[in-house]
């Protein structure tokens, strides 16, 4: 394994990865970037990936919406999804002829596991004729039972695009509450939660404000309503990143998965980041080592039953048609 990482790789992360740790990462970074060329592969990395992945080997980075769009547009033969399983499934839905790899097949999601396809079928019986809007943080089987998907960044736009009085909004209860506050459409929620965001509390944020002057708090809408009420700004991960990069607050606390703060901090070294570190155990199953192994072996591959894929793909494509214009993400 070569120890020579690409020129400039460490410069991109030197403010968040100690120099003494870099020799542990550099051989993997070098090997992965070589393998990408030989495999004609691209790596899509979610904002919650660690900095050595996000800044040093990823070709495309962003939130769920950005990754979904880019997965459909890439010319690569192989897509490696550095994220969780539903994201890799979404990439496969939009690029069915490409090899889609997820470095750890067990990288799941508490939200995706909170609802099943049968749950949606039962809800349709209870609420006949009511459209089903499903967060992309769900399995392909769930998407196949859905009218349209959404992300945290476009949820209100998607709901209002349907031109109806009420919708079933699944599975995140707190995102549903946030959308409900932004629209006149009646939102019928499910009671799924993100195990990272549900742990934040308003009292915790109040304590940070007491201890740090000039603190700007920005929160993800998967957080409980009292947390969002205590924040200065609420947005998707991409919108949070954009806020910090454009507003350049003196000191900021990002109420989301803590690798997100590291990744943004590497891009804005002039901003002081206060980090309440809630880790996603599923995102952290992805490592440089298993990314390298995935590229070497072209496994584990993501496959979806064609009968399910056709219906699930349409739900995602409907979302992309509505959100086809670039957004402020």
Q: How many CA within 13 A on the CB side of residue 313?
A: 15
Non-local (6+) Cβ contacts of 254 within 8 A are 218, 219, 240, 244, 260, 261, 264, 273, 275
CA distance 116 to 179: 22
Let me know the angle formed at the C-alpha of 320 by 37 and 88, rounded to the nearest 5 degrees.
45
Both 103 and 146 in one domain: the answer is: no
Q: Do the domain assignments include residue 305?
A: no
The tally of CA atoms less than 13 A away on the side-chain side of residue 163 is 1
Determine the pLDDT at residue 325: 47
Query: In whole angstroms, how large is the CA radius of gyration of the chain?
Result: 20
> In this structure, are 93 and 29 located in the same domain?
yes
Same domain? 16 vs 97? yes
Give the Cα separation of 57 and 43 in Å (integer): 7
Domain assignment present for residue 323? The answer is no
The answer to whether residue 303 sits within a structural domain is no
Residue matched to tokens 């897509």? 79
- Structural domain total, the chain: 3
Of 193, 219, 240, which marks where a domain is finished? 193
Per-position DSSP letters for 97-130, written without gaps between them: TSEEE-S-TT---TTGGG--HHHHHHHHHHSTT-
If asked whether residues 211 and 239 sit together in one domain, one would say yes
Look up the domain containing 22 and give its range: 9-109+283-297
| DSSP alpha helix (H) spans, the chain | 9-13, 22-39, 51-54, 64-73, 85-94, 117-126, 140-143, 155-161, 173-182, 202-211, 225-230, 237-247, 258-265, 288-297, 306-322
Alpha-carbon distance 15 to 12, whole Å? 8
What are 141's two structure tokens? 């089987």
Can you give the pLDDT at residue 323? 61
> What's the average pLDDT block by block, 10 residues per block, for the chain (329 residues)?
68 96 97 98 96 97 80 89 96 94 96 97 98 96 97 94 98 98 98 97 97 97 97 94 97 96 96 93 97 98 97 95 54
Q: Which residues contact 157 (CB under 8 A, 6 or more apart)?
A: 150, 322, 323
Instruction: Looking at the structure, tell me whether residues 133 and 207 fall in a common domain.
Output: no
Q: Looking at the structure, tell me whether residues 210 and 187 fall in a common domain.
A: no
- CATH number of 259's domain: 3.40.50.10800
Looking at the DSSP bridge assignments, the partners of residue 321 are none
Q: Which residues pair with 251 in a beta bridge?
A: 215, 272
Pair 267, 236 in one domain? yes
* Residue 2 · residue 31 · CB < 8 Å: yes
DSSP state of 77: S
């Amino acid at each position: 394994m070569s120890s020579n990482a690409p020129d400039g790789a460490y410069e991109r992360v030197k403010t968040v990865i100690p120099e003494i740790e870099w020799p542990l990462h550099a051989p993997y970074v070098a090997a992965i970037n070589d393998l990408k060329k030989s495999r004609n592969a691209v790596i899509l990395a979610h904002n919650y990936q660690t900095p050595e992945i996000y800044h040093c080997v990823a070709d495309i980075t962003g939130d769920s919406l950005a990754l979904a769009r880019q997965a459909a547009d890439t010319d690569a033969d192989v897509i490696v999804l550095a994220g969780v399983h539903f994201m890799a499934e979404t990439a496969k839905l939009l690029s069915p002829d490409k090899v889609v790899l997820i470095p750890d097949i067990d990288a799941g999601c508490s939200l995706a596991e909170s609802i099943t396809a049968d749950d949606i079928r039962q809800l349709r019986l209870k609420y006949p004729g009511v459209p089903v809007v499903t967060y992309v943080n769900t399995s392909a089987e769930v998407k196949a039972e859905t009218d349209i998907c959404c992300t945290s960044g476009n949820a209100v736009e998607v709901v209002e695009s349907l031109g109806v009085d009420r919708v079933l909004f699944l599975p995140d209860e707190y995102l549903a509450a946030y959308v409900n506050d932004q629209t006149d459409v009646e939102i019928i929620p499910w009671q799924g939660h993100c195990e990272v965001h549900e742990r934040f509390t308003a009292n915790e944020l109040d304590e940070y404000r007491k201890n740090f002057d000039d603190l700007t708090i920005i929160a993800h809408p998967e957080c409980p309503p009292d947390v969002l009420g205590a924040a200065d700004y609420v947005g998707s991960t991409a919108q949070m990143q954009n806020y910090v990069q454009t507003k350049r607050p003196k000191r900021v606390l990002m109420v989301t998965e803590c690798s997100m703060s590291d990744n943004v901090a590497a891009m804005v070294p002039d901003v002081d980041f206060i980090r309440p570190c809630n880790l996603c155990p599923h995102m952290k199953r992805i490592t440089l080592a298993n990314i390298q192994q995935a590229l070497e072996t072209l496994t584990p591959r993501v496959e979806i039953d064609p009968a399910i894929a056709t219906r699930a793909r349409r739900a995602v494509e409907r979302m992309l048609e509505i959100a086809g214009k670039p957004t402020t993400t």
